[in-house]
Amino acid sequence: MPIFLGILLTLSVCVVAYGAGQLGDSVKTALETQKLVSIATQRADGGWGRAAPVWFMYDGEAVYFITAPDSYKARRIRRGSPAQVWLSDATEPAFVGPAHVVTDVPTLERMNAVYKRKYWAAWLTYWARPLAGRVEAGSLVAVKVTPQPDGR
Q: What pLDDT, in 10s, does the model give residues 89-116?
A: 788 899 999 999 999 999 999 999 999 8
Beta-strand ranges (E) seen in the chain are: 36-41, 52-55, 57-58, 63-67, 82-86, 95-102, 141-145
Quote the pTM value: 0.81
Render pLDDT for 11-26 as a digit per residue (tens, 0 to 9). Answer: 333 333 333 457 899 9
Distance, CA of 151 to chain centre: 12
List, in order of start, the domains of the chain with CATH numbers: 20-145 (2.30.110.10)
Q: For residues 152 and 32, give the distance between their C-alpha atoms in angstroms, rounded to a whole number.
A: 20
